[in-house]
Amino acid sequence: MTTRRLVLTRSAALVGAASAGLLLPQIVRAQSNKVRVGFMLPYTGTFAQLGVAIENGFRMALDEQGGKLGGREVEFFKVDDESAPPKGIENATRLVERDKVDVLVGTVHSGVQMGIHRVARESGVLNIIPNAGVHVATRAQCAPNVFRASFTNSQPTLALGKPMVDRGHKKAVWITWAYAAGDEAYEGFEKSYLEAGGQIIKKLSLPFPNVEFQALLTEIASLRPDAVACFFAGGGAAKFLRDYAAAGLNKNIQLYGSGFLTEGVLDAAGDAANGVLTTMHYSDSLDTPRNKQFRLEYAKTFKMQPDVYAVQGYDSGQLLIKGANAVKGDLANKQALYAAMQGATIDSPRGKWTMSKANNPIQDMYLREVANRQNKVIGIAAKAVADPATGCRMA
Ligand code: PHB
């Protein structure tokens, strides 16, 4: 009690001194310091290339601003989270306490995100999620300092059921990795597929990040569904596509997926990915000047093609830029910073999107088909999809 009162009294004195101009030298020095940005991303393992694409996209957004945030130089700190949930809290704590980052950009894996989330909520540090779709981060545990520039795990699959039934595929098998992202992608799929009149005849799974698909593919062949729907991503997705085709299943059982299945893997999967149908908030072939300019610039800078992860990293950068510019680089002005980020409209290569009250993008979902090593857009599968944000009450 005494300690708390002491702290409050001291901070009240500091505010008084600051408004009287007594602390101006310190404040000016703090402002001219670099903004400390921490990347907590997978740089090894099945999601390694996702982490790289996110970092590339983020840096590209900042480079377009002369490398500055609200007029301040930027210093980067990096941690490889290895997509390993047990190390999540420790790695996030390292960035917050040792490196004293102003903003933590991370991560990809939903399980690791829960570690970051705990640290973000306890420390109050700004967290921008450039991928991980774990529901609770923008539902029951939503927080004013946590912003997602990507999706919730059920957003893409909420758009998947109808196009499947529209194509006459009414009996499906679902297959995924057994962890939060797979389970929550299933939630969206189940809802949309059952509502459209489809029937799910079997749910199959294997532990993350296993890629021993053979026994499960044999089981699918014997179940003879009209279609298979799935959630896989990264290196594991490329292997699943190749194994599905090698087993001959692509000839008579249409494969569908949450769009991550065909992101960043089209060269690795080769012809095995042809004809796969997915729903996602981005498509390579979106015919807009914004997307074309982004793709050209990214390919020129990084000597590789961008994917949805690059777009999400880029948008994470854009979101932070909007906030930092609104407070002229004073990221300590949290109320104004968060208000600007919350109210932002992001002019993304995916199309313009806004933040929901729970700090999650409201965005269109595209139906895409793989052809010639590209995700070709077929149409908009669902407009302005918002996550239900169940249980979110901002403090
Ligand atoms: C997740 O774990 O939330 C996740 C990982 C990879 C993806 C999408 C979601 O491509």
Q: What is the pLDDT of residues 224-276, one digit of tens each?
A: 999 999 999 999 999 999 999 999 999 999 999 999 999 999 999 999 999 99
Q: Which helix (DSSP H) or strand (DSSP E) does residue 328 occupy?
A: none
Token digits for 354?
């806004």
The three-state (H, E, C) secondary structure of 149-202, written as one string: CCCCCHHHHHCCHHHHHHCCCCEEEEEEECCHHHHHHHHHHHHHHHHCCCEEEE
Clarify whether residues 107 and 239 are in a common domain: no
- Tell me which residue has its CA closest to atom 3 in ligand 1: 132
What's the 330 CA to ligand 1 centre distance in angstroms? 32
Clarify whether residues 134 and 167 are in a common domain: no
Q: How confident is the model at residue 82 (pLDDT cuts 50, 70, 90)?
A: very high
Task: For 44-79, write each residue's pLDDT tens digit.
Answer: 999 999 999 999 999 999 999 999 999 999 999 999
Clarify whether residues 269 and 354 are in a common domain: no
**Rounded-to-integer distance, Cα 251 and Cα 295, Å:** 32
Clarify whether residues 262 and 354 are in a common domain: no
In a domain, 2, yes or no: no
- The predicted pLDDT at position 395 comes to 72
In a domain, 372, yes or no: no
* CATH number of the structural domain spanning residue 257: 3.40.50.2300
CA distances from 70 to 64, 293, 330 (A): 13, 24, 8
Token digits for 380?
């908009």
Clarify whether residues 57 and 135 are in a common domain: yes
Residue 74, number of CB atoms within 10 A of its CB:
18
**Rounded-to-integer distance, Cα 365 and Cα 379, Å:** 9
Clarify whether residues 189 and 236 are in a common domain: yes
Q: Is the pLDDT assigned to residue 25 strictly greater than 50? A: no
What's the 100 CA to ligand 1 centre distance in angstroms? 27
**Of the candidates 179, 235, 173, the residue with the CA atom closest to the CA atom of residue 207:** 179
Which residues, in sequence order, are bridge partners of residue 369? Answer: 277, 376
Is residue 181 lining ligand 1, measured as CB closer than 6 Å? Answer: yes
Asked, as a colleague might, if the bond just before 209 is cis with ω within 30 of 0, I would say yes
Clarify whether residues 140 and 159 are in a common domain: no
What's the 185 CA to ligand 1 centre distance in angstroms? 10
Q: Is the pLDDT assigned to residue 30 strictly greater than 70? A: no
In a domain, 4, yes or no: no
**Of the candidates 362, 366, 327, 387, the residue with the CA atom closest to the CA atom of residue 103:** 327
- The predicted pLDDT at position 15 comes to 39
pTM score: 0.92
What's the 368 CA to ligand 1 centre distance in angstroms? 18
Residue of 41, 46, 47, 230 to test ligand 1 pocket, by largest number of atoms within 8 Å of CB:
47
Q: Is the pLDDT assigned to residue 380 strictly greater than 70? A: yes
Task: For 151-198, write each residue's pLDDT tens digit.
Answer: 999 999 999 999 999 999 999 999 999 999 999 999 999 999 999 999
Clarify whether residues 257 and 298 are in a common domain: no
Q: What is the mean pLDDT of the chain?
A: 93
DSSP code at position 288: S
- The predicted pLDDT at position 11 comes to 38
Clarify whether residues 77 and 221 are in a common domain: no
* Domain end point (choices 280, 314, 335): 280
Which ligand 1 atom is nearest residue 185's CA?
Answer: 9
Count the residues in the chain: 395
What's the 203 CA to ligand 1 centre distance in angstroms? 19
- Tell me which residue has its CA closest to atom 9 in ligand 1: 132
Is residue 109 lining ligand 1, measured as CB closer than 6 Å? Answer: yes
Clarify whether residues 26 and 97 are in a common domain: yes
Q: Is the pLDDT assigned to residue 26 strictly greater than 50? A: no
**Rounded-to-integer distance, Cα 329 and Cα 340, Å:** 12
Coil, strand, or helix at residue 286? coil
Q: Is the pLDDT assigned to residue 10 strictly greater than 50? A: no
Domains contained in the chain, number: 2
Is residue 260 lining ligand 1, measured as CB closer than 6 Å? Answer: yes
Is residue 132 lining ligand 1, measured as CB closer than 6 Å? Answer: yes
Which residues, in sequence order, are bridge partners of residue 127? Answer: 104, 146
What's the 23 CA to ligand 1 centre distance in angstroms? 45
What's the 117 CA to ligand 1 centre distance in angstroms? 15
What's the 317 CA to ligand 1 centre distance in angstroms? 19
Is residue 231 lining ligand 1, measured as CB closer than 6 Å? Answer: no
Task: For 292-340, write each residue's pLDDT tens digit.
Answer: 999 999 999 999 999 999 999 999 999 999 999 999 999 999 999 999 9
Q: What's the domain range around 79?
A: 10-151+287-359
Q: How confident is the model at residue 7 (pLDDT cuts 50, 70, 90)?
A: very low
CB 38 within 8 A of CB 103: yes
Q: Which residue has the tokens 């059921």?
A: 161
